[in-house]
Amino acid sequence: MPSSVIDHFSYDANKKSLQITFVSGLVYLYRNVPEKIFNMLKAAGSKGRYFNQHIKNHFKFKKLEDA
């Protein structure tokens, strides 16, 4: 299901890192994210709501770039 907040995202299982590109063009890398969290994000009916409840303010992150 499309998100009004998240454009796309990807996960690196070896590094346990989740990269999220927001519709605003901002790109963030979240560290030490369990694969279960990534799988739940993929399955979530509302990606933005899942992000706000389970990822934002729960994992260290780094801003990568602006689109």
pLDDT, tens digit, for every residue of 1-52?
Answer: 567 899 999 999 999 999 999 999 999 999 999 999 999 999 999 999 999 9
Q: Name the residue type at position 50.
A: Y
Whole-structure pTM value: 0.90
- Residue that has been written with the tokens 């993929």 in this structure: 42
The contacts found for 12-20 with CB under 8 angstroms, 24 or more apart, are 18/55, 18/59, 19/64, 20/51, 20/55
